[in-house]
Structure 1
Amino acid sequence: MIGTYNYVLYSGDLDFLDIVWERYLKAMDYVYGKVDDSGLLNVTGIRDWARWQQGWNNTEANMILYHTLITGATLANWQSNTTNSSLSTTYLSRASSLRDAINTYTWDASVQLYRDNATLTSLHPQDANSLSLYFGVAPTNQTTAISTGLARK
């Protein structure tokens, strides 16, 4: 879904966006439907790559969903057939709530890094932590600590 944003951003092909828009919305609804009561995405597919115990409230997947919502808000503004003018606002609101949940449930203050998921794990993966910086999920007062922690890995 982020790929759709990147394609339209760099190609300017708004006709393509018109063609895929309804399917894009269905995909967004499907993915966001997996957000649980904690406000985090519950990844129901497990072992989708080499890390054992992939799934649940995986932090990296939540970082990607955050960026998907941000880019989706921009696409909603670009989309010429949008009948719901508040869709961009909805996506931005969801992104904000997700960012709050990520920072509440996956931040490990004892090591100043994000945990792999919302459980009491000792794994602090590079992907989730680097994406927190790249996508702007990490609060400004934590970015130096995350960068330092990543440099140690």
Structure 2
Amino acid sequence: MIRSKISKMRQGFTFLETLLVLSIVSILLIVSFGLYPKYEARVLEHFLEQLQKDIMFMQQTAMSHNIRHRLHWFPSDSRYVITGEGTVAVLVRNYDTDIQVRFETLSLPLIYSANGNISRGGTMYVSYKKSIYKVVFQLGKGRFYYSPI
């Protein structure tokens, strides 16, 4: 009797058990691959939201300290640096190496004066894989907006 139980345990899984496990694994794979495009779109949106917060920080710091601040961009290193008067870095931000930045009419460095206004406006394009956004810096308030192309 003990021998029959041991030999029954060594026989393996039934067809129904194997089919159930394979169906659960395939459902999990389908769901995970379905979420991947949402992740790709979110990478670029997160970058632009972070850039917007950093620009607002730079503008507020320039007004509160009453000195000009500059945004220096290093696309080959995938980073940008905000500096105050002199070369002291106030903020260094690295971003995803797959994000490409192309400056159209925007000249660098981007300078915010002590009253919080931008010195020159312009346009740049930010792309990540298949997504492209147009970023426009406006004169006046010193803010920018972005829109997908």
Q: TM-score range by the shorter chain?
A: under 0.3
Structure with max Cα Rg: 2
Tell me the TM-score normalised to structure 1 length. Answer: 0.26
Query: RCO greater where, 1 or 2, for CA within 8 Å and sep 6 or more?
Result: 1
Give the TM-score normalised by the residue count of structure 2.
0.26
**Per residue, is there more helix in 1 or in 2?**
1
More strand by share: 2
